Amino acid sequence: MIDPLLTIRVSFRSLLVNKMRSVLTMLGIIIGVSAVIIMLAVGTGASRKMSDFIESIGSNIIMVLPGATTAGGVRMGAGTCSDTTFLIDLFDLDQQ
């Protein structure tokens, strides 16, 4: 059986001997976690801002068009692909 006290003692001794490695590891973890938190905050803020903007312009201005087809690298324009918008999608939009 491994002694937990011995394990903790060895780990602290390792941290003290390898100070630079320990500091760099902690710095990397702090920067990584901070970057994830910042990216989530920016994404949430942008999403909220777009939702507020769409709500502020009114629901009678938004138009939904079926998708466009692409042939040979050339986009044909909105409405050229009629199988992307279904009637059930319109009912879902109407309920929202």
Average pLDDT over residues 78-94: 61
- Are 2 and 34 part of one and the same domain? yes
- Are 29 and 46 part of one and the same domain? yes
pLDDT > 90 fraction of the chain, expressed in percent and rounded: 47
- Are 20 and 54 part of one and the same domain? yes
- Are 2 and 41 part of one and the same domain? yes
Instruction: Name the most confidently modeled range: 1-5, 25-29, 59-63.
Output: 25-29
Full residue range of the structural domain in which residue 9 is found = 1-59
- Are 67 and 82 part of one and the same domain? yes
Number of independent structural domains in the chain: 2
- Are 71 and 44 part of one and the same domain? no
Average pLDDT over residues 8-16: 92
- Are 49 and 12 part of one and the same domain? yes
Q: Which residue(s) pair with 75 in the sheet? A: 70
Per-residue pLDDT tens over the stretch 35-79: 999 999 999 999 999 889 888 877 666 666 666 666 666 666 655
| pLDDT interval class at 18 (50, 70, 90) | very high
